[in-house]
Amino acid sequence: MRRLFLIWFPALVFILAVGGRTHSVHAAQPVIGATKTAILFWLADELGYIKSAGFEARMYQSGTLTTRGLVDGKIQFATGSHVAFVASALKSPDLRIVSTLSTSRTAKLVGRRDQLDQSVASLAGKNVGITRSSIGEYFLASFLALNGMRLSDLNIVDLKPGDIVTGLANGDLAAGLTWEPYVYQAREALGDLALGYPGQEGQYYYFLLVGRDGWLSGNSSKTADLMRALLKAEEFAQTNPDRARKMITKKYGLDPAFVDYLWPEHSLTVALPQDLVRLMEEAVIWRAEAQGGMPGGGLPNMLGFLHSAPLRSVSPEAVGVFE
Whether residues 136 and 183 share a domain: the answer is yes
d(CA 60, CA 157): 26
The pLDDT, as a whole number, for residue 23 is: 37
Whether residues 64 and 182 share a domain: the answer is no
pLDDT greater than 50 at residue 240:
yes
The pLDDT, as a whole number, for residue 297 is: 60
How many domains is the chain built from?
Answer: 2
The pLDDT, as a whole number, for residue 219 is: 97
Q: Give the whole-number percent of the chain exceeding pLDDT 90.
A: 69
This prediction has a pTM of 0.82
Candidates 102, 109, 81; CA nearest to 201 is 109
Instruction: Give a yes or no: residue 236 inside a domain.
Output: yes
Instruction: Give a yes or no: residue 16 inside a domain.
Output: no
Whether residues 100 and 111 share a domain: the answer is no
Instruction: Give a yes or no: residue 12 inside a domain.
Output: no
Domain boundary among the residues 175, 196, 217 is at 196
Instruction: Give a yes or no: residue 265 inside a domain.
Output: yes
Q: Name the residue range of residue 239's domain.
A: 25-104+205-318
- Report the CATH number at residue 297: 3.40.190.10
Within 8 A by CB and 6+ apart from 262, the residues are: 106, 180, 181, 184
Whether residues 112 and 96 share a domain: the answer is no
Whether residues 216 and 304 share a domain: the answer is yes
Tens digit of pLDDT for each residue in 114-147?
A: 999 989 999 999 999 999 878 899 999 999 999 9
Whether residues 265 and 148 share a domain: the answer is no
Whether residues 91 and 221 share a domain: the answer is yes
Domain boundary among the residues 178, 196, 214 is at 196
The pLDDT, as a whole number, for residue 154 is: 98
Tens digit of pLDDT for each residue in 133-182?
A: 788 999 999 999 999 999 999 999 999 999 999 999 999 999 999 988 89
Instruction: Give a yes or no: residue 302 inside a domain.
Output: yes
Tens digit of pLDDT for each residue in 82-113?
A: 988 988 888 899 999 999 999 999 999 999 99
Domain boundary among the residues 164, 196, 228 is at 196
The pLDDT, as a whole number, for residue 293 is: 61
CB 240 within 8 A of CB 248: no
Whether residues 114 and 191 share a domain: the answer is yes
Cβ-based neighbour number of residue 85 at 10 Å: 26
Instruction: Give a yes or no: residue 53 inside a domain.
Output: yes
Whether residues 278 and 162 share a domain: the answer is no
The pLDDT, as a whole number, for residue 10 is: 45
Whether residues 96 and 209 share a domain: the answer is yes
pLDDT greater than 70 at residue 2:
no
Instruction: Give a yes or no: residue 9 inside a domain.
Output: no
Whether residues 138 and 97 share a domain: the answer is no
pLDDT greater than 80 at residue 218:
yes
The pLDDT, as a whole number, for residue 252 is: 85
CB 146 within 8 A of CB 101: no
Mean pLDDT within 5-27 = 42
Question: What is the 3-class SS of the chain, one letter each residue?
Answer: CHHHHHHHHHHHHHHHHHHHHHHHHHHCCCEEEECCCCHHHHHHHHCCHHHHCCCEEEECCCHHHHHHHHHCCCCCEEEEEHHHHHHHHHHCCCEEEEEEEEEECCEEEEEECCCCCCCHHHHCCCEEEECCCCHHHHHHHHHHHHCCCCHHHCEEEECCHHHHHHHHHHCCCCEEEEECCHHHHHHHHHHHHEEECCCCCCCCEEEEEEEEHHHHHHCHHHHHHHHHHHHHHHHHHHHCHHHHHHHHHHHHCCCHHHHHHHHHHEECCCCECHHHHHHHHHHHHHHHHHHCCCHHHCCCCHHHHECCHHHHHHCHHHECCCC
Instruction: Give a yes or no: residue 6 inside a domain.
Output: no
Instruction: Look up residue 175 and give its amino acid.
Output: A
Q: Give the whole-number percent of the chain exceeding pLDDT 70.
A: 89
Whether residues 180 and 312 share a domain: the answer is no
The pLDDT, as a whole number, for residue 305 is: 95
